Every structure is written in C-alpha cells, then in structure tokens.
A and B are shown apart, each in its own frame.
Chain A
Amino acid sequence: MAVVNPVLEVDAIRLAFDGVVAVDGVSFTVEPGELFAIIGPNGAGKTSIFNVLSGVYRPQQGSVRFHDQDLIGMRPHRIAALGMARTFQNIELFSHLTVVDNLMLGRHNHMRYGALSAFAWIGRARREELANRSAVEDVIDFLELEQWRRFPVGLLPYGVQKRVELGRALAMEPRLLLLDEPVAGMNVEETEDMARFVLDIREELGVAMVMVEHDMGLVMDLADRVMVMDFGKPIRTGTPREVQEDPDVIRAYLGEQHRTAGGVA
C-alpha cells in the first residue's frame, strides 16, 4: 500500500470549559476518502471535537493537522478556506435566505471579486456569479433540491433543511466534511435518503468525512472506522465490527442505548 498522508491528524487534544472537561486526550487520523465515525452518549464531547477542528474553540493542549497545516489558533474562516466544511447538530442555516443563496454562500471562497466589482456587476463579478451559480445547480441536482430552490430555508421541512445544510457544505467543494448528527430527528424515509447521499458523496466525490451520529445502524453500515467516546475520552477506535464487540464499548455506550431506548438497541 502506497504511503499517503492522512487528511486529518488529531493528536491528544484537550478542551476544558472552566471546570468541565469536554474533550480529553483525543487522537485520531482520517485517511483520504475515509468515512470516520464518532459515537458516544450525549455530552461525550463529540460536538466539541468538531468545534476544535473548525476553529470555533481553541483546545488547551494537543495539535490538529489538516493537509499538513497546523490548525490550532487559526480562525474559522481560514480553516474553511483550506477546505474543511461542516454541518451542525442544530441546523445553522441562514433562514431568511433562499436555498440558492444559502448554497451560493457555501461558494463564498470560490469567488474572489470584491466590493468595487460588486457595485458594477459587470465583467468579473458577473462572470464569477454565473459560474458559481452553475456549480450550485450541480449541488441542487445532486441532493434533489430542485423544488425548493427559491424558498427561504426557514420555511422548509426539517429534513429538507438538513439536506440544504449538507448542500451548503458540499458547495464549498471541501476536502474534509464534518457531519454532526446528520439524521438526528429524521423519520425513516428521510434517514434513508440521507444515508444514500452520504454514500454518494463518498463514491462520486471521494470526499473524506467525519460523522458524529447516534443512529448505530447507520454508523455500522456506512463507516470505515469508528471511535467511541465517553466523558470526553476515547474508549476504542476500530472497524464497526471490532468496536461492536468490545466489552468496554458495550458497557459505556450500548449499555446507555439499552437504558435510554428501553432495551431496543
């Protein structure tokens, strides 16, 4: 096997909010094209890891390397420009703007023209707008959003909003995609659609992904490797099969599922 540098290398990060340790000693790597999943009970620190990766929080210890760039201390918009995109556990769309405008915002860094060309709207501004609008149309096709194009996203059903947020991240043409609970709160049909899109992204676009998810079935079906977390610490990282059979994992996570889901895991 040829030696390829990992897309992402997270090394021993620790993040605490005065008193509460949210992430403690977490390390993992994500290889090109890989779908890496993070699971763990509520409050385990999964979202906090994403916030560290995308520059929203600065960890007290550890390092994050993304395509051989050190990300610690870098501001979120610079990290985005390097090719990291994410979706949020609680949808963070621009709810007054239309689907098209939300996706165009995903292409913010693919356009370079400034305020002066914007005023004139000729030449460069117009050219770049048209080219990027057509790229947005590709995302709309890919995620089957045609019928919603002109709606302010705040008016759309929850499942569609989740899809638009995925679209906004895809419009960035990222090298790494972070998905925070992409199917949380969705019905069976919406969950299946989302699973299909995640598979399509991997197969057709080859983008590496990190997915935080509660839906065990989905994680076990889709992920190449899984990291299980509890109380900010990683318990076990391995293939879905290895992880499922680990006694510590069963105790910490699956046990919790048994309790909360009334015995149905």
Chain B
Amino acid sequence: MRGRPELYTSYAQDMAFLNTRPKRVSTGALLVVALLLPFMITDDLLQLLATGYVAAIGAIGLNIVTGYAGQVSLGHAFFLAIGAYTGAALSGDPDGRVIGFGVTSLPVWVLASGLVAALAGVIVAPLAVRLRGLYLAIVTLGLVFLGDHVFREWTELTGGPGVGRPAAVPELLGVRLDKDGAFLTGAQKLYLVMFVLLVIFGVLARNLVRSRVGRAFAAVRDRDLAASVIGVDLTKYKVLAFAISSFYAGVAGALLFVPNGFFDPGSFSLLLSVQYIAMVLIGGAGTISGAIMGALFITLLPRITRELPAVLPFISGDATGTFTVFQLEAVLYGVLLIVFLIVEPRGLFGIWVRVRNYWRTWPFSY
C-alpha cells in the first residue's frame, strides 16, 4: 500500500502506535538527531536539554490529569517535591548532613519516587472527586503552600532554605552517570539517560491515552453526565488520573535536579506549578508531543532571554537594572500564555498540525 500512506488495511494497523508511514519516518529522524546531539553540542547545553527532557516527563503527567481528564491542578509542584525528596533521600549519603539511605540504583529510586508521589496523589484525589474547576485549582494550590512550609521547616530532609541538599545520586549497574567516564562525560551520560527515560515514559503515556482508560479520562473531562450513563465510574477515573499524574510528577521531581546536583526547598513554589501549566498550555493540552514541546520551550526560554542583553542594551543582564532579564522572563511567560490561549488554543502542537497539513496538501496548499 505504498501509494496510499493513509489507507488502513486492518484495525490492528489503524490502531498501531505510529499508524502511518510519515509518522514513522519523522519519529525515526527525531530519534537519530536526539541521539547524535550529545556528540555535537557543548556540555552546558546538554545539561539544559537533559533538564528539559525531565521537565517533559513532569509535563506529560500534568497533561494527563489536566489536559486529558480535565481536572485543573495547581498542585504539581507539591508532587514534584515529593518525588525530589524521595529520590534524594533514598539515594543520599547515609553519613551525610541530611537524611540518606544510600540506595543509589537509578531505576529503584526513580520507581520509588513515582510510587510515593502517586500515593500522595491518591490521598489528595478525593478532593478532586468533590470539587471541580476553579475550586479544585484553589485547593490544589493549598497543597503547594502546605508543602512549601513543611519542606522549609524539615531541615533534616531538605537542608533548609538557602542551604538545600544534594540531588539524587544517579548510578546504573555500578556506573556513576553524573561523573565523567572513559568514553562519555557526565553531561553526555545524563543527557542520554534522561532521553531514554523520556522516550519510555512518553511511549507509556501515549499507550495509556489511546486506551480504554484514556478515553474514559476524556469522557469525564468533556461530559461527566454522559460518561456516567455509558458506564464510566467518575470517582475511579478521577482518582486514577490524579494517581498517574502524580506518579509522573514524582519521577520527574526525582530526576529534575540531578543534572544540577543540588536543590533548595524554595524551588517548589507556586511558580513551579505555573511553569508546568504553561508547558501544558503552550505545548497544547491533551497531547503527549505537545507536552514535550512545551516543556522544552519553557526550559530553554531563560537561556534565550539571557542572550538578549547582548543584542538589546536596554535590558539589564543582572538584577540591578531598571528592566532585567528576570522581569523579561516573567513578562514573556504571561504574554506567551495569553497569546497561545487566544491565537492557538491547541498550543505548539496545533501549530505543528497546521504545518503538517500544509505539507500534506503541498503543492496545493495556500
């Protein structure tokens, strides 16, 4: 069926993960580029991209509960924090200044962080069952304040504000992933590991959202009355969406500060939740690839604005000027959110769909 790439000849083919040839080709090309990057760009850019990949895992999680299941959560920073402290404490130095248990194997603490955060999600979820819309957003916001307070006070775990603690220790089969080795630098290794993890968690999420469970999420989001009369248990699926979303947040939280090596309890403020909301909205709510694009975009944004003072002299590069890069960044978030909400509610993903459709009908596109 080479001449008609979109002619499906069986349900199995129609429902396959990458169901058309163009999708397979473009995905393959992206994979190759991503795997070659560590040998082409500098370590500090690699570190930034690695952080972006981890943020993408977290954004996919928020997208599952907010984009797919329609439950607006401002509490993502709280679940990221739970993952971050679970991972850091589990893998931390037992003789160190802060709590540590010395379990440095990456798969072990990544999974554990996800599970602990998921458990927290299940405990919080009954709120989601009773509340909706703005009420839910405000209550989940409360979680962030609660967490912020606890993490600032609990210095044995977090090191306290302004001091912080080392991030999780990444070790795989006896190899330290954050230290330079014989063949690869620490940044290269971390980049590759984070990329592989993003691919794994991205594929799992894509499978989930096109399954019976993902359809039930969409049904709960779009019309809960209709969802219940066709047999969808609203309570069960709201709790499930929260649990899965929190699991992703936990995994992302545990990995997020590994490229940096250090983190502070002040990192988990409302701003972090808002950044993730921005990733989902700018990337396009309700798509996995959109969440990834949004996360990369938001992660790379500060890097781009930091280059600006060189080009635009009225912007100050440090915190002293009248108009600083930090202010610019905050303004940019706001402006971008508003622009995307008005012009392209489907976000970067929507723009990508337009570009794709343009080329699909080329040369007859206009």
A residues touching B (Cβ–Cβ < 8 Å)?
54-56, 75-77, 79-81, 85-86, 88, 92-97, 101, 104-106, 108-109, 111, 113-115, 118-121, 125, 128-130, 133-134, 137, 168-169, 172
Partner of B228, one of A76, A94, A129: A76
Interface of A is mostly: helix
Chain B 229-271 interface mask (CB, 8 Å, partner A; 1/0): 1111110000010001000000000000000000000000000
Residues in B whose Cβ lies below 8 Å from that of A77:
228-229, 231-234
Would A108 and B207 be within 8 Å (CB), given that A92-B226, A93-B226, A130-B12 are in contact? Answer: no
The answer to whether A168 and B213 touch across the interface, beta carbons within 8 angstroms, is no
Interface residues on chain B, size class: 20 to 34
- Give A149's nearest chain B residue, CB to CB: B14
B218 within 8 A of A: yes
Residue on B with the closest CB to A95? B222
Q: Are B215 and A125 in contact (CB under 8 A)?
A: no
Taking the closest CB of chain A, its distance from the CB of B66, in whole angstroms, is 15
Question: Which of B213, B223, B234, B244 contacts A92, CB < 8 Å?
Answer: B223
Report the minimal beta-carbon distance from A68 to chain B, rounded to whole angstroms.
20
Task: Please give, as numbers and ranges, the residues of chain A lying within 8 Å of B12 by CB-CB distance.
Answer: 130
Query: B119-151 vs A: 1/0 string, CB under 8 Å?
Result: 000000000000000000000000000000000
Contact between A119 and B204, CB atoms less than 8 A apart: yes
- Collect the chain A residues with CB atoms within 8 Å of residue B210's CB: 121
Q: Of all chain B residues, which has the CB nearest A113?
A: B212
Name 7 interchain pairs, CB-CB below 8 A, sorted by A.
A85-B229, A97-B222, A108-B212, A113-B212, A121-B17, A129-B15, A129-B212
Distance of A130 Cα from B16 Cα, bound (Å): 10
Shortest Cβ distance from B201 into A: residue = A119
Contact between chains at B228 and A80 (CB < 8 Å)? yes
Give B contacts to A, CB under 8 Å.
Answer: 11-12, 14-15, 17, 204, 207-208, 210-216, 218-219, 222-223, 225-234, 240, 244, 286
Report yes or no: A80 in contact with B231, Cβ–Cβ below 8 A. yes
Decide yes or no: A97 and B211 within 8 Å by CB, A76-B228, A108-B230 being known contacts: no
Q: Judging by beta carbons under 8 Å apart, are A106 and B215 in contact? A: no
Contact of B215 among A101, A120, A128 (CB under 8 A): A101
Choice from A56, A96, A119 contacting B229 with Cβ under 8 Å: A56
The 7 closest A-B pairs by CB, nearest first: A118-B211, A80-B231, A92-B226, A76-B228, A121-B207, A109-B231, A94-B222
Which of B15, B213, B228, B286 interacts with A115 by CB under 8 Å? B213
Question: When the two chains form their complex, are residues B218 and A115 in contact, meaning their CB atoms are under 8 A apart?
Answer: no
Tally A-B pairs: CB < 8 A. 104
Contacts of A168 in B (CB 8 A): 230
- Please measure, in the bound complex, the distance between the C-alpha atom of A119 and the C-alpha atom of B205, giving whole angstroms: 7
In this complex, what residue of A is CB-closest to B234?
A77
Which residues of chain A come closer than 8 Å to B227, judged between CB atoms?
Answer: 105
Quote the shortest CB–CB distance from B217 to chain A (angstroms): 10
* Most chain A beta-carbon contacts within 10 A, residue among B204, B226, B234: B226
**B229 A76 Cβ-Cβ under 8 A:** yes
Cβ-closest chain B residue relative to A106: B230
Given contacts A77-B228, A101-B218, 14 further A-B contacts (CB under 8 A): A55-B228, A75-B228, A76-B229, A80-B231, A92-B223, A94-B222, A105-B227, A108-B216, A111-B212, A115-B213, A129-B211, A129-B212, A133-B11, A137-B11
**Could you tell me the distance between the alpha carbons of A111 and B230 in the complex, rounded to whole angstroms?**
13
Contact of B214 among A92, A111, A118, A128 (CB under 8 A): A118
Contacts of B230 in A (CB 8 A): 80, 85, 105-106, 108, 168-169, 172
| Contact in complex: A118, B225 (CB < 8 Å) | no
Residues of B contacting A85 in the complex (Cβ-Cβ under 8 angstroms): 229-230
> Which one of B211, B215, B225, B240 contacts A121 once the chains associate, using CB atoms below 8 Å?
B211
Known: A106-B230, A130-B11. A119 touches B208 (CB 8 A): yes
A172 touches B231 (CB 8 A): yes
